[in-house]
Amino acid sequence: MAIKFGRPIEMRDTPRRDATFAAPPLDLTIRPRRNRKAEWARRMVRENVLTTDDLIWPLFVSDGQNKRTPVASMPGVDRLSVDQAVREAERAMKLDIPCIALFPYTDPSLRDEHGSEALNADNLVCQSVLAIKKEFPDIGVLCDAALDPFTSHGHDGLIEDGKILNDETVAILVKQSVIQAEAGCDIIAPSDMMDGRVGAIREGLDAAGFQDVQIMSYAAKYASGFYAPFRDAVGSAKTLTGDKRTYQMDSANSDEALREVELDIAEGADMVMVKPGMPYLDIVRRVKDTFGMPTFVYQVSGEYSMIMAAAQNGWIDGERAIMESLIGFKRAGADGILTYFAVQVAEKLKKGG
């Protein structure tokens, strides 16, 4: 592009034009492109803005000391020993990321049919919460309430005769939630999709004196093919028997999501979540418009890995795709986003990107 006096010729008041493109001016009163003509103008009329306040950063914790183990199916994501998780919490603090979410990789020797390790007050999640809160008490910590990282069969609930037991599983989840709250967890996030678990957990937390611990319900969690890399990260991919369609939602359903969200709000959820993210933007919009509740969305592992793989192959501009995907969640109505891109995005936003 030719430049004169530091300005593109196309931006001058009387640009020269090739006669080939000469045409009579259109009689237009309204020209939407006027609001898009320059970066300052686009910023001024922008409808949705992404900030670090919108981010929750999921971390995977594992045994060991000073140890980081790459997750093969999630380029750039590691399993972290507890001491390394503390260092990442420090990184989040410095970037003004308000909250981190913890998920454990449980040693196979500690997994059993009942997910007993979930009720161990010294398990990886509790160790991590205690260590992080000791050093950085002002960062929010979210803990997943579900049994799949702890069961030998990879399901979120107890199994009897091939069926997932709802009420018996909920009783375990209540105990797990109280144990996590005792460790210092700020937000309990039930991801199991058992009926009635939000109300039971709320009652259990209140009875144990944790009235201020919040509940972010995985209210509309779909049975999805986008979870595979996450299951690698927590070690349940090889152990999962069958699928989770009897308790996670059918991807064809939308009205059902509203019923699920309504129930969780009535049972005491402080915030609700839609999972996965990008394939379910319509659900995010309907939930936000219908209930006006703090609404979150999880940009799940499969979404992350697809963007990373395409970027690494040079098929897309990775940075632009990341930012565009997160703005899409905001545009759909999300108040916050759980994303493995949280650090990259926070660093870009800090630089004014």
d(CA 255, CA 262): 11
Cα(227)–Cα(103) distance, integer angstroms: 14
**List of residues 6+ apart from 146 with CB closer than 8 A:** 156, 173, 190, 191, 192
Strand partners, 189: 144
- CA dist., res. 264 & res. 256, Å (int): 13
Q: Which amino acid, 240?
A: L
Q: What are phi and psi of 275, to 5 degrees?
A: -150, 130
Bond before 279 cis per omega within 30 degrees? no
DSSP codes, 49-63: ---GGGEEEEEEE-S
Nearest in space to 91 (alpha carbons), one of 127, 135, 153, 123 = 135
- Residue 284 CA to residue 275 CA, distance in Å, equals 9
Active site residues: 221, 275
Residues 6+ positions from 310 with CB-CB distance below 8 Å:
316, 318, 321
Q: Which residues contact 196 (CB under 8 A, 6 or more apart)?
A: 166, 167, 170, 267
Would strands 158-160 and 163-165 be described as parallel, antiparallel, or unpaired?
A: antiparallel
Question: 10: number of CA atoms within 13 Å, CB side?
Answer: 5
